[in-house]
Amino acid sequence: MPSTPAASLRSRTLAWFKENGRDLPWRRPDCTPWGVLVSEVMLQQTPVVRVLPVWESWMQRWPTPGDLAAEPSGEAVRAWEKLGYPRRALRLHACAREIEEIHGGRVPSDHAELLALPGVGEYTAAAVSSFAFGLPETVVDTNVRRVEARAVTGNALPEPSYTRAEARLAHELMPDVSTPAGIEEANLWNAASMELGALICTARSPRCDECPVHELCAWVANGRPAPHYKPKGQAWEGTDRQVRGAMMAVLRAAEEAVAAGELTALGDPSDVGQGPLAEPLRALRRLAAGAEQRERCLAGLLADGLAVDDGAGGLSLPA
């Protein structure tokens, strides 16, 4: 039997995960390290339900880094569809090229080499090391932070930004990895604590009655106090992100260059003609964004490399 609170927390969470963890394709034994890396980049700030179909289509089209590296970067942006934050697609494409050119087409297992890849930060490097290669790095995302904040520190939410204290706690909760059994438990704990936060210990409506660590939870024992700060929600309506997304939808649907004026034009959506661009152009026109905001958003897409100017006033996805 577990002899410490940390061991009890892990054992109960692992038992729950083995019975309730989702059967996700990037968790299956036959998933390649490339498939795990793609999933981790796609899952950043994006829920599983939206990622699943896009991930599956990506892996069918580009099952290896070399397959993606051989395509223009604009094809990665087009296939990104509506996942949001499309610069991630450009980073994945750059990452695929570097894996192909520097690592012989194989995703590196070394944590430092992973960190050196374009767009790969501390979390993604740790996740790929753990989930793709079975190396017991400490994997901490928002879901893990929330579980640990509630169960151990008694706070309703983790701190607004990841702190050293949270990092220390995450490391302390990892099992001893000096044995093969400890390494296996550590990698399972990474996945299980993340899943517990995603399905049960959610931010807005935690299902405490179904939680396997309910009896151990410091937050529950404290009477489930309110958060010690007011979380800032992410707005969407009227933001530059919304306008940029609508512009990207037009560019993804276009087979030829689109006139810049089409992306910044104001006016009645019903004035848009027919054709493959009709619906995304109407959606863009419907937004309550003024000329200044539209110009700013278009300039941002060009600066980020998500759109390119052909020199004659036409815009398209990068080649």
Phi and psi torsions of 113, nearest 5° = -70, -35
User: What is the enclosing helix (H) or strand (E) of 50?
Assistant: helix 48-61
CA distance 133 to 94: 22
Q: How buried is 215 (Cβ within 10 angstroms: 0-12 exposed, 13-18 middle, 19+ buried)?
A: exposed
Angstrom distance (rounded) from CA 140 to CA 166? 9
Within its chain, how far is the Cα of 11 from the centroid?
27
What's at 180, amino acid-wise?
P
Integer angstrom CA distances of residue 188 from 78, 130, 133, 168 = 34, 9, 12, 19
Other CB atoms within 10 A of residue 242 CB: 18
Residues labelled catalytic:
40
Pairing relationship of beta strands 314-316 and 258-259 according to DSSP bridges: antiparallel
Q: Are 148 and 158 in contact (CB under 8 A)?
A: yes
